[in-house]
């Protein structure tokens, strides 16, 4: 790699980021500016920011690496991302989130739910959950960015991690939501251009679209030889129904992330940053195209990396990368792409990770500062912006420590980034999704029902992670310590906790709703005022 060229590109990129962060800082005058960008963001900026926040190194590096193992079946996640994460999210939730958030003067996701159900405790508990659980997702993103920097620059992982986190922390703490969304739009543009180049290059290097997929199909015996016992049938076929690999692919990767996106705090809050519902409608197409290019290209490249590495080294991608799933995409970029693209793609991954991390840090800071301390515990705060910034710093430190520890926790060959992402998405869906749907479409749903659903979702999720789902229950060791086995229900050991927790959470919400006192008419009238306009 030409280090002079890389240095120039990095300096140019960071200069633009610094300028946009400073611009956001100068235009931040109030809490509303800091938390919601003054509710006046342009729809195109909002759409790209939403997509850039959604797509990170977890999608490009983590899930791209997972595609190298599971194959083209991961593309079902792209389908779900577009249909659920964009169309359903924008059309059925975005408009109502923006309007109800304005009616209730809500600035955060937990505050929206707390005020809709007239429950300060719900806002407090929701904010605390976000602050404690989101670092796992953030750590997965940090891991992806740091892994690529380490591989590309041949520097220790620990050094790249500290440098990477420091860059993100600098501008997100300074600029608030304005700085985050301005930089997201810039970073999203870089990501789109780079992924377009990558798509063209992967097919060129493997003989064209038809030839590439034909070669990948022909490699099926290699996959069967390694993972046939777990249900693998090749990279262009789905695993055997209900086999361990099928359960991992469908329940964790596709459904876990594809459904969980609806209840992501850092995404929901973006609906409250635009000034009208009409502008949300304008953002749907841009968001859909962006997600299709980001996830679709990453998954195709991950799967076809097997063709490239087999032709170059005689090994499939996972073996060429030393059985490190999260190292497959970085290694492919380093070995297969021109030197100038390696520099560009490092900036792309930095942009992907930084756009997501900045939103996560912002969400964690506001969750602890505004939702837990200021509104929940009624701690008197003279300068709420400063408190939010301090909370962000704490969240950044916690996330960084987790990023150091995750590679030590999971066994070799595990898709750590994809797994960490899926756990957080599933937890959010189980805890928040039933009450989120109920908040907009079931006026009778009460605070009691919302809280019961919340605790049921969290409880079943944690129980499944600790005592059933083998990827977590085995390394945690508590199940083995208490019961002498790594999982209490072997037949469900590869089933994602979301599949167990979300139905329980939904049933709890419905049952308790019909046996509890409905919310006051005053709260309902205020929340639903002009909701469909």
Tens-digit pLDDT profile for residues 144-186: 778 777 777 777 878 888 887 887 776 566 555 556 666 777 7
Domain ranges of the chain: 44-405
Tell me the longest C-alpha to C-alpha distance in the chain. Answer: 69
pLDDT of res. 343: 77
- Alpha carbons 434 and 424: distance in angstroms, whole number: 16
pLDDT of res. 470: 92
- What average pLDDT does the segment 437-444 reach? 94
Fold of the domain built from segment(s) 44-405: Sodium/glucose cotransporter (1.20.1730)
Sorted by sequence, the CB contacts under 8 Å of residue 231 that are 6+ apart come out as 239, 240, 243, 244, 245, 246
- Alpha carbons 199 and 357: distance in angstroms, whole number: 25
Does this model's pTM top 0.85? My answer is yes
Phi and psi, residue 219, nearest 5°: -85, 0
With contact defined as beta carbons under 8 Å apart, do 177 and 279 qualify? no
Instruction: Label residue 243 by pLDDT band (50, 70, 90).
Output: very high
Tell whether the model's pLDDT for residue 427 goes beyond 90.
Answer: yes
- Alpha carbons 101 and 111: distance in angstroms, whole number: 9
- Alpha carbons 160 and 147: distance in angstroms, whole number: 8
């Amino acid at each position: 790699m030409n280090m002079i060229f890389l240095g120039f590109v990095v300096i140019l990129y960071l200069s633009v980021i610094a300028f946009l962060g400073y611009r956001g800082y100068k235009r931040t005058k109030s809490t509303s500016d800091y938390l919601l960008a003054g509710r006046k963001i342009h729809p195109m900026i909002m759409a790209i920011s939403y997509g850039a926040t959604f797509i990170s190194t977890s999608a490009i590096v983590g899930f791209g690496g997972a595609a190298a193992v599971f194959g083209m079946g991961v593309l079902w996640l792209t389908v779900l991302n577009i249909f659920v994460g964009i169309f359903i999210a924008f059309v059925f939730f975005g408009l109502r989130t923006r309007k109800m958030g304005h009616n209730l003067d809500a600035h955060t996701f937990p505050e929206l739910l707390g005020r809709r159900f007239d429950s300060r405790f719900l806002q407090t508990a929701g904010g605390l959950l976000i602050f404690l659980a989101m670092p796992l997702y953030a750590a997965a993103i940090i891991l992806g960015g740091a892994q690529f920097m380490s591989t590309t620059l041949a520097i220790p992982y620990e050094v790249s991690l500290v440098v990477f986190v420091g860059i993100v922390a600098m501008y997100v703490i300074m600029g608030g939501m304005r700085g985050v969304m301005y930089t997201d739009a810039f970073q999203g543009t870089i990501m789109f251009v780079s992924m377009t180049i990558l798509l063209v290059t992967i097919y060129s290097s493997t003989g064209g679209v038809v030839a590439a997929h034909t070669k990948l199909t022909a490699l099926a015996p290699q996959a069967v030889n390694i993972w046939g016992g777990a249900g693998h049938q090749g990279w262009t076929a789905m695993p055997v129904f209900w086999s361990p690999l099928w359960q991992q692919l469908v329940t964790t990767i596709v459904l876990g992330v594809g459904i969980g996106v609806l209840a992501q705090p850092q995404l929901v809050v973006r609906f409250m940053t635009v000034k009208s519902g009409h502008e949300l409608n304008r953002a749907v197409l841009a968001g859909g195209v962006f997600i299709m290019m980001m996830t679709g290209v990453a998954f195709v490249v991950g799967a076809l990396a097997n063709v490239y590495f087999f032709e170059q080294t005689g090994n499939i991608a996972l073996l060429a990368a030393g059985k490190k799933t999260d190292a497959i995409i970085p290694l492919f970029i380093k070995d297969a792409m021109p030197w100038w693209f390696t520099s560009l793609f490092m900036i792309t991954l930095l942009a992907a990770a930084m756009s997501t991390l900045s939103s996560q840090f912002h969400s964690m800071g506001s969750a602890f500062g505004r939702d837990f301390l200021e509104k929940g515990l009624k701690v008197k705060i003279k300068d709420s912006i400063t408190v939010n910034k301090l909370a962000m710093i704490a969240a950044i430190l916690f996330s960084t420590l987790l990023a150091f520890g995750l590679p030590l926790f999971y066994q070799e060959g595990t898709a750590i980034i994809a797994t960490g992402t899926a756990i957080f998405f599933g937890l959010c869906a189980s805890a928040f999704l039933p009450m989120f749907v109920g908040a907009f479409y079931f006026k009778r749903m009460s605070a009691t029902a919302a809280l019961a659903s919340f605790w049921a979702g969290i409880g079943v999720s944690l129980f499944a992670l600790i005592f059933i789902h083998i990827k977590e229950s085995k390394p945690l060791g508590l199940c083995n310590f208490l019961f002498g086995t790594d999982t209490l229900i072997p037949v469900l050991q590869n089933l994602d906790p979301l599949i167990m927790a979300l139905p329980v959470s939904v049933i709890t919400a419905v049952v308790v709703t019909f046996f509890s006192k409905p919310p006051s008419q005053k709260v309902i009238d205020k929340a639903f005022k002009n909701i469909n306009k």
